[in-house]
Amino acid sequence: MTLTGSGSAYDPPAGAAPRRPAAPSPAREHGPPRRLDRRVALVTGASSGIGAATARRFAMDGWHLLLSGRDRRRLEQTASGTTAVVLPADLAAPDGPRLLAQSALHTTGRVDVLVAGAGIGWAGPFAAMPHTDIDRVLALDLNATLHLVREVLPSMIAAGRGRVVLLGSAAGCVGVREEAVYSAAKAALAAFSQALRRELRGTGVGVTLVVAGPVDTPFHARRGRPQDRSRRRQIPPGRVAAAVWEAVREDRDQVYVPAWLALPDRLRALAPRMSGRLLNRWG
């Protein structure tokens, strides 16, 4: 079994050896950051998949975009036809989140919405999972996200407005067998979103958790075991992007894609034994 990307910023191009990108550098070497009248969204994991689809959806409404990922070429493809600024970064590196936040704020002077979409997965029995892969999944899916939010959040609080969007997963709600560490990371993000939302009450800054089922991105094909399409229909990434957009537009705290995913989450709380039996059969 192998560690693989979610079609996210973390992945190198197919067939290419992993490479460590240079730290993001500010777009301007001197002078104050450029102030924009348009709203600004920083999207991580924008190389492909959900992140790329989300960037395109925000661009349709005239937002100014800051796109981050490890692969500059694929970021430039996402940015094509827009005014987006490409900020390659390795969020799993110790200083990755801090350097990206500094570069983003230097480029535009503010971030109105942060869409934290970078992530990786690993499929297989937990007892066989290498220790290094445990660390890598947690480093990107959880630690890097928290550190990036920590770096961007003070500017939002100071401005009295903003929204943090965290890409969760149904795996974080119910737990998926042979995806134990990925499920743990997404469950932690869900708890983090609830705690941070309460902490930020009254500041003008909101927190949204987007809980999605299996999405039709390179994530499943490259994680070591393809998704079983006969049992789980995959969601187009554009559908998740539309849900992110609507959540930001309507200041929603939590959304499920598809909407029926809220049912197993509630069933787990109300009838854990029944939920467990269903998951043993279908999860």
What residues are labeled active site? 182
Cα 76 to Cα 191: distance, rounded to the nearest angstrom: 34
Between CA 182 and CA 206 the distance in angstroms is: 25
Structure token digits, residue 178: 């042979």
* Exposure letters 155-189 (e unless 16+ CB within 10 A, then b): bbeeeeebbbbbbbbbbbbbbbebbbbbbbbbbbb
The residue count of the chain comes to 283
Task: Kindly state the tokens that stand for 104.
Answer: 């983003």
Q: Which two tokens stand for residue 32?
A: 């104050």
Q: Are 13 and 72 in contact (CB under 8 A)?
A: no
State how far the Cα of 273 lies from the Cα of 91, in Å rounded to an integer: 39
| C-alpha to C-alpha distance for 187 and 272, rounded to whole angstroms | 16
Which residues, at least 6 apart from 96, have a Cβ–Cβ distance to it below 8 Å? 23, 89, 90, 144
Q: How many CB atoms lie within 10 A of CB 21?
A: 16
Whether 137 and 163 have beta carbons less than 8 Å apart is answered as no
